[in-house]
Amino acid sequence: MFGTSGVRGQFGTDVTVDLAVVIGRAVVADGAERVVIGRDPRTTGPVLRDALSAGVRESGGDVIDCGMVATPTLARAVAWRDADVGVMITASHNPPEDNGIKLWTPSGMAFDEARRGRIAELVEADEYAPADWDAVGTETAWSDATARHRDAIVDAVDPVEELSVVVDVGNGAGGITAGALRALGCSVETLNAEPDGRFPSRPSEPTEEACGTLQAHVAATDADLGIAHDGDSDRMMVVDETGQFPAGDALLALFARGAAGDGDVVAAPLNTSLAVDDVLAEIGGSLVRTRVGDVFVAERAREDDVVFGGEPSGAWIWPDETLAPDGPLAAAKLAALVDREGPLSELLAELPSYPLRRESIEVEGKRNLMETVATRAHEEYDGVESLDGVRVEREDGWFLVRASGTQPLVRITAEGRTEAATAELYDEARALVEDAIEG
Ligand code: MG
């Protein structure tokens, strides 16, 4: 039930008021006494929030309600309010009919696998001890979370001399970004700034397809930078001053270069581009690869040697600030970088870029199939990594074969230093999968 993103799915079937009450009870049964709750603007957020708060208080826990906030704001608020657990009611970038519940520790990290498992067991059992009539928990509202987050961003980032930024909030919870950028000295224009849980302006996920209006607007004006968030603003993607939407790997390389120095480590998932390795090698840093998912990047980023963690989907982590992917912080860091060293299109053009090929194959029994793929890969190649799927690294590139988490698909990614190398790596990966299907 609890995936890496917590509970997520359609309201009323997958994610119900009953489930929210039981999760509230489970969080207290797991030891929490003070619980901070936030939500994104989805129409079903308030009723799930009420249910979750009721479950916590019925069990004797106290609730601090932050109202509608960005997910990184909620993640930071757990420590700010000396709470034990944070609960964010969000389905991130999913369609408006979905909602979800994601749990956070005081260190600003989402619950890891072990902790999610414990909560899932408690939810399943639903054995709970209601508090005595005179010991039910309290609920207080805290309306300063967003202002405090904005101040933390302004403290963490260099002021901007002169930069014009367009922020596409996508009707989500990311209004904080405009405030933080203005406080840093940017002139800011917003698109779709009104929070609206129906997401009427564009799909909530900030993909290139969804960001056409932002691209056109930035290209048509003298803006230096466009910023786009998802519904709960943990993610941030970008449009350069010419209206181009760069790949997430390019942004990752840019942030990695800005954060790392000699001997520093950057964490990123194992499907990250070679461009990031190259950029770090130039400055004496190195890349460590994790399982795919921002929670795994955060887990590695928690260790002392890591100065930055990123996932090309738009999750950016500066562990000295917080272990939560923080879209508004990323927007501010990028604004400062572009102001100092821009224009952004030129910064991106300096980065290496390699041909990448991504395709999916429909399969039955993906688990067994992946076991066969792993066995054969180990027989055929040196440099096989089976942390998450099967990744083969060679001098001229790499390929990754990985089962989809949710669909009957196996995904192949191949990246080589030349077109020919990419084609060859892709063909080898595909042959490995096809052999396994036949076998
Ligand atoms: Mg999100």
pLDDT tops 90 at residue 383: no
CA 268 vs. chain centroid, Å, equals 12
CA of 273 to the centre of ligand 1 (A): 22
pLDDT tops 80 at residue 3: no
- Among candidate residues 92, 201, 273, 313, the one labeled active-site is 92
pLDDT at 140: 98
Note if 204 is an active site residue.
no
pLDDT-derived band at 307 (thresholds 50, 70, 90) equals very high
Across the strands, what pairs with 267? 288, 309
Residue ranges of alpha helices (H) inside 96-144 are 113-125
Give the span between the Cα atoms of 329 and 156, in whole angstroms. Answer: 8
pLDDT tops 80 at residue 4: no
pLDDT tops 90 at residue 180: yes
The pLDDT tens digits of the residues spanning 320-368 come to: 999 999 999 999 999 999 999 999 999 999 999 999 999 999 988 888 9
Give the span between the Cα atoms of 166 and 163, in whole angstroms. Answer: 10
- The CATH fold assigned to 356-438 is TATA-Binding Protein (3.30.310)
**DSSP E strand boundaries for 169-291:** 187-191, 225-229, 236-240, 265-269, 286-290
What's 244's DSSP letter? Answer: -
CA of 230 to the centre of ligand 1 (A): 6
CA of 260 to the centre of ligand 1 (A): 25
* Whole-structure pTM value: 0.94
310: enclosing H helix or E strand: strand 306-311
Q: What tokens were used for 50?
A: 């009420």
The pLDDT tens digits of the residues spanning 50-97 come to: 999 999 999 999 999 999 999 999 999 999 999 999 999 999 999 999
- Its CATH architecture, for the domain 147-349, is 3-Layer(aba) Sandwich (3.40)
pLDDT tops 80 at residue 395: yes
CA of 431 to the centre of ligand 1 (A): 35
What number is the average pLDDT over the span 229-241?
Answer: 97
- Its CATH architecture, for the domain 7-143, is 3-Layer(aba) Sandwich (3.40)
Order of all β-strands in the sheet with 139-141: 7-10, 98-104, 85-89, 34-39, 62-68, 139-141
Phi-psi group of 149: left, alpha or beta (phi > 0 → left; psi -120 to 50 → alpha; rest → beta): alpha
* Domain spans of the chain, in order of start: 7-143, 147-349, 356-438
pLDDT tops 80 at residue 439: no
pLDDT tops 70 at residue 142: yes
Residues near ion ligand 1 (Cβ under 5 Å): 92, 230, 232, 234-235
User: Which are the contacts of 223, defined by CB distance < 8 A and separation ≥ 6?
Assistant: 164, 165, 166, 189, 217, 241
Pair 391, 385: CB distance under 8 Å? yes
pLDDT at 1: 66
Pair 123, 74: CB distance under 8 Å? no
pLDDT-derived band at 266 (thresholds 50, 70, 90) equals very high
Pick the more confident residue, 127 or 200: 200
| Cα distances (Å, whole numbers) of residue 313 to 84, 85, 93, 257, 414 | 29, 26, 11, 18, 17
Give the span between the Cα atoms of 385 and 306, in whole angstroms. Answer: 21
CA of 235 to the centre of ligand 1 (A): 5
pLDDT at 195: 98
pLDDT tops 80 at residue 406: no
Number of H helices, E strands in the chain: 14, 19
Average pLDDT, rounded, for the chain: 95
Domains 147-349 and 356-438 share a fold: no
CA of 427 to the centre of ligand 1 (A): 34
